[in-house]
Amino acid sequence: MFHKFSNRKNLFSIKSQNRSTKICKVRLSKFSLVITTPVLLNKKCLAGWNRVEAIVHKDKDLLESKTTVYCRKAPKQVINPFTAIFLGSAQSRMLRQIGGIYTYHKIAPPPQGTRDPFLYVSPGRFDDQLAQLRRQGFKSSKIEELAGGGVVISFDDGFENVLRNGLEPLGRHGFQGLQYIVSDRIGGLNDWDIAKGDTPERLMDQAQIREWIGAGHAIGSHSRTHRNLRKLSRVEARSEIVDSKKALEDMFGVAVRHFCHPYGGFTAETRELVMEAGYQSAVTVLPGFNPPGSDRYALRRIIPLSAGEFVAKVIHRVMRKLSSTPSGRGG
């Protein structure tokens, strides 16, 4: 039996098709919906909502009921290119209103011949960016507590140069880092980049990750092997998502609450797997901010680029794309 619900003037009800009496408990707020019910809802009813949690309860007679929590989907975000400029007026305004998540990969000068020099930030530039954030009054935040005036400093992959060149300035400027670790590649190399002809870089080993955690920073999961989840079977994707969480928690004795989609890629199915694994959030490579009602399993992030770097990055991406097409090869 399918059910439908209506929301008129904040009066929320749920009724079955045969017009029987209400048989479930419903709580509605501006951005969230909580339903405690054993019944199945028509998917069309929930088109504007993302399921973010599902809990099965048993009473003293072992009868089951299920509480499902939904988050209202945010309107499609139109990206203002001016918000991409590091601490430009547009970006600063958004940060003061709702906060933001910055994303880094490597804290080191880009080596000659690297495929993407914009995945590197020099140690001096990184130090200067943190100093600018602090001078403008922005505070370090955790993802689950992000609000206006707060910033999250996140790093993908677990590169050793982040520990070597980033640990001291993070501490000096009062920011906590969140490092997304590829659990099966700890102490190894970035083989997913090497396979594409990119520069080998060393990843942190267990002792270095413990040093990172001991300095007050956090870790999340970036899957087991950095495979693109969109291209995997459900069984393979589940292993990448679930087993990496367990491995990191067993190795380091800390809760791993946050996930980073490899290559930023996810589907409705892999998003559900991340949620069911017990993560509180997941980040993507989509640019932008996360206003109230955003899907917390598809969070947007900000690449810290100056105006000149932003233009250079766009040109670099266009040229790289052209050179990889048949018409662009060989000049």
Domain boundaries in the chain? 3-72, 81-315
Strand-pairing partners, residue 281, are 258
Q: What is the largest CA-CA distance in the chain?
A: 74
Indicate the pLDDT class of residue 9, thresholds 50, 70 and 90. Answer: very low
pLDDT of residue 310: 87
pLDDT(327) > 80: no
pLDDT of residue 19: 40
Q: In the chain, what percentage of residues exceed pLDDT 70?
A: 73
The whole-chain average pLDDT of the chain stands at 83
The per-residue pLDDT for range 38-66, each reduced to its tens digit, is 444 555 555 556 665 555 555 555 555 55
Going by their DSSP bridges, the two strands 177-181 and 218-221 should be labelled as parallel
- How far does Cα 4 stand from its chain's mean position? 32
- DSSP label at residue 229: G
Rounded Cα–Cα distance for residues 212 and 252 (Å): 11
Q: Are 143 and 299 in contact (CB under 8 A)?
A: yes
Indicate the pLDDT class of residue 21, thresholds 50, 70 and 90. Answer: very low
Rounded Cα–Cα distance for residues 69 and 26 (Å): 10
Indicate the pLDDT class of residue 320, thresholds 50, 70 and 90. Answer: confident
**Least confident piece of the model among 19-28, 169-178, 272-281, 287-296:** 19-28
Rounded Cα–Cα distance for residues 192 and 297 (Å): 23
The per-residue pLDDT for range 84-115, each reduced to its tens digit, is 899 999 999 999 999 999 999 999 999 998 99
**Tally of helices (H runs) and strands (E runs) in the chain:** 9, 16
DSSP H helices, the chain, are: 89-98, 123-135, 160-173, 191-194, 206-214, 234-238, 244-252, 268-276, 307-324
Triad 24, 25, 31: Cα angle to 5°: 125
Quickly name the fold that domain 81-315 has. TIM Barrel (3.20.20)
Residue written as token pair 């791993």: 256
Could you tell me the sign of the dihedral formed by the alpha carbons of 142, 146, 152, 157, in that order?
positive
pLDDT of residue 58: 54
- Three-state DSSP at 101 gives strand
With 0-12 / 13-18 / 19 or more C-beta atoms within 10 angstroms meaning exposed / middle / buried, residue 286 is middle
- Using a CB cutoff of 8 Å and minimum separation of 24, what contacts does 85-92 make? 85/305, 85/306, 85/307, 85/310, 86/129, 86/132, 86/304, 86/305, 86/306, 87/132, 87/133, 87/136, 88/307, 91/302, 92/136
The four Cα atoms 59, 62, 64, 65 give a dihedral, to 10 degrees, of: -10
Indicate the pLDDT class of residue 79, thresholds 50, 70 and 90. Answer: low
Joined tokens for residue 53: 């949690």
pLDDT(137) > 50: yes
Q: Quick check: pTM over 0.85?
A: no
Q: In the chain, what percentage of residues exceed pLDDT 90?
A: 66
pLDDT(80) > 60: yes
